Structure formats: C-alpha cells, structure tokens
Amino acid sequence: MPILRKTVSLFLTLFLFSFAAFMAFQIIPGDAVLATLGTEATPEQIAQMRSELGYDKPLLTRYWNWISGFVRGDLGISLGYRMPVSEILKDKIPITAALSVLAFLLVVIISFPLGILYSKLLGSPLNSLVVSLNQIMMSVPPFFIGIVFTFVFGISLRLFTPGNFISHTQNPVQFWTYLFFPALAIALPRAAQTIKLLRSSILTEMNKDYVRSGTSRGNTKNRLLYVHVLRNALIPVITFLAMTFSGIVAGSIIIEQIFVIPGIGRLLLLSISNRDYPMVLSIVMIIALVVILMNYLADVLCQLVDPRTRK
C-alpha cells in the first residue's frame, strides 16, 4: 500500500508544480505578445495574436488547455520561433538526455568501486589523504572543471575540438567522445559526494551488531561487506543518486554553454533572454517531470530493497 500512497502523492506533486509554474508565467511583468509584436502593433493585431495564443480566455481554462495539451504532447507555439515547441524540442531533448545519462553512469561507475575501496582504508595512513582529496573534489564547481577540460583535453591534447559538436546521425563515435568530457565534468563533484556518502554509510553499517555476530560465525570480511553490509549501506545512496540526477540535469544546462552543445540547456537560456515563455515553461515542466519521476522511482526502489520502510 505505501507504493500506492506514493503514487497518489506523485500525481498531487505533479499537479501542484504544473499549476504553480503555469501561474508564475501568467503574472510575470511584461506582456509576451507586446514583446513579440513590438510597440508599433495595432490593437487589432494584438487582439488577433492574443486569441490565437488563447490569452483571452479565463485563467483556469487556459491552465486546463495547456496541461491537457502537455499530456498529449502539444506544448504550444514558441513565440520566438513561431513553430510548435514540441518540434523544436524533439531534436534537443535526446542530446541533453544522452549527456545526463552518461554523466549519471559515470557517477555510478566512479563512486561505487572507490566508495567501497575508501571504506577499507580506515585506519591506514592513506585514509586522511583520500578523504581530503575527495573533499576538495566535491568543492570544485562543474563549470570550472569544464573549462579546465576544454583547455587540457580540447586545446592541448586535441582529444576533441571545443565548439565542434557532432550530431549522433553524423558520427555516433565522435558524438559520444564529444559528450564524454562534459559528462565527466558534471560527474566528478557528484561522484565525490556519492563516494563520501557511501563510505560513511558502509562504515556506519560495519559497526552494527549483525556484523559482529557475522564475524563471530567466521564470515570473512569481504563476504560480510559484499553480501550483508553493502545491501544496507546502499539504501541512503540510492535516494541520494535520485536527487543527484536532478542536479545532473541542472548541471548539464551550464556545461552545455561551455562545450557549445545544442541541447535544451542552451535553448532554455536563449528562450529566457528572448522572453519566449511558452518555450521556457515547457522546458521547466519537462525537467520537473523527470526530476519528480526520478524521486518517485527512488522511493519505490528503496521500499523494494528495504522491507523496513514498507510498514
């Protein structure tokens, strides 16, 4: 039943967020229609565009039209491009999605082995060195790593050409090579955070009674770690990783600027400066959808892994 409750809460959250986001874009100062048509537009032109965009209907009707359209995949018309928002987003979303998923995979690939390894170092002289390095890595903003990467791997080592993005249809290999460095830039600080959490989570579990009784029954340390401790220690990490994913998506917005990747991050910033609100609203809503779904999945996953939360 708790999963059912979570599902109800999921839809409630989605409704609340979409409503709040929609309203926020209705009360903004500055009329989007006037901004598009310019100050010299005639009252007729303004009235026509208003009714074209549905701005003359009551607020709640407009919310309903917008959200029911959103569910069907109709995101409205972009003010800047004068094209359906969904047409423009169709090419951009896969790029940002690829970047985010790659970054997420890198976080997992880097942090799980290292987190486990670091937890074994407790008491050795390497411990404080590793912990300090990890803390420093956590404090480096992804965009700074991104700039350093373009310098080291792009300009100096020529492993990729900064600014020369290659689309997946042109050359899949170069596409993924190009995305690797921005993804790594996003992943490194997040991986460091995950390592820290995983390490402390393992060390906390190691002090529990079941580990002591496991040891007294003659289990080896490794067997205890991989069969018993890790299962419990991963629970907080799973929740954290779900939250990390939303951070990764946000991080990709900034990283796309540095590596000149034509994803939704660049589009979002462009639309913000163009006051293209239907576009901004759609992008925000799509990211919110991903974030909220990820959190929901993490909750469900935690309950599957940990029966104690299933009360």
Partner 1 sequence: MTKRNYNLIFGIILSAFVVILLTVGVFWTPYNPDAMNAAQRLQGPSPEHILGTDNFGRDIFSRVLKGGVSTLWISVSTVLFGLVCGIIVGAFTGYYGGILDEIVMRLNDVLNSFPSILLSLVFVSLLGPGKKNVVIALGLLFIPSFARITRSEFVRIKNLDYVKCARLEGVPDLRIMFVHILPNAVNTLLSTTAIGFNNAVLAEASLSFLGIGVQPPDPSLGRMLAESQTYLFSAPWYTLSAGGMIILLILGFGLLSDGLGDIE
Binding site for partner 1 (CB under 8 A): 9, 12-13, 16-17, 20, 24-25, 28-29, 128, 135-136, 138-141, 143-144, 147-148, 150-151, 155, 243, 246-247, 249-251, 253-254, 257-258, 268-269, 272, 280, 284, 287-288, 291-292, 295
**In this complex, which beta carbon is closest to partner 1, that of residue 191 or of residue 258?**
258
- With vertex at residue 202, the alpha carbon angle to CA 199 and CA 204, rounded to the nearest 5 degrees, is 110
| Minimum distance of partner 1 from residue 280's CB (angstroms) | 7
Tokens 């069969």 belong to 227
Instruction: Give the separation between CA 8 and CA 16, rounded to whole angstroms.
Output: 12
Burial 273-309 (b: 16+ CB within 10 A, else e): ebbbbbbbbbbbbbbbebbbebbbebbeebbeeeeee
| Minimum distance of partner 1 from residue 56's CB (angstroms) | 22
How long, in residues, is the chain? Answer: 311
Type of residue at 151: F
Q: Which of 304, 147, 124, 118 has its CA nearest to residue 206?
A: 118
Radius of gyration (C-alpha) of the chain in whole angstroms:
24
Instruction: Give the separation between CA 125 and CA 267, rounded to whole angstroms.
Output: 49
| Minimum distance of partner 1 from residue 291's CB (angstroms) | 6
Instruction: Give the separation between CA 163 and CA 311, rounded to whole angstroms.
Output: 52
| Minimum distance of partner 1 from residue 41's CB (angstroms) | 23
Strand partners, 84: 77
**In this complex, which beta carbon is closest to partner 1, that of residue 12 or of residue 34?**
12
| Minimum distance of partner 1 from residue 2's CB (angstroms) | 16
| Minimum distance of partner 1 from residue 268's CB (angstroms) | 7
Instruction: Give the separation between CA 252 and CA 263, rounded to whole angstroms.
Output: 9
**In this complex, which beta carbon is closest to partner 1, that of residue 37 or of residue 243?**
243
**In this complex, which beta carbon is closest to partner 1, that of residue 180 or of residue 259?**
259
**In this complex, which beta carbon is closest to partner 1, that of residue 102 or of residue 280?**
280
| Minimum distance of partner 1 from residue 256's CB (angstroms) | 10
**In this complex, which beta carbon is closest to partner 1, that of residue 125 or of residue 307?**
125
55, two tokens: 């701005």
**In this complex, which beta carbon is closest to partner 1, that of residue 47 or of residue 250?**
250
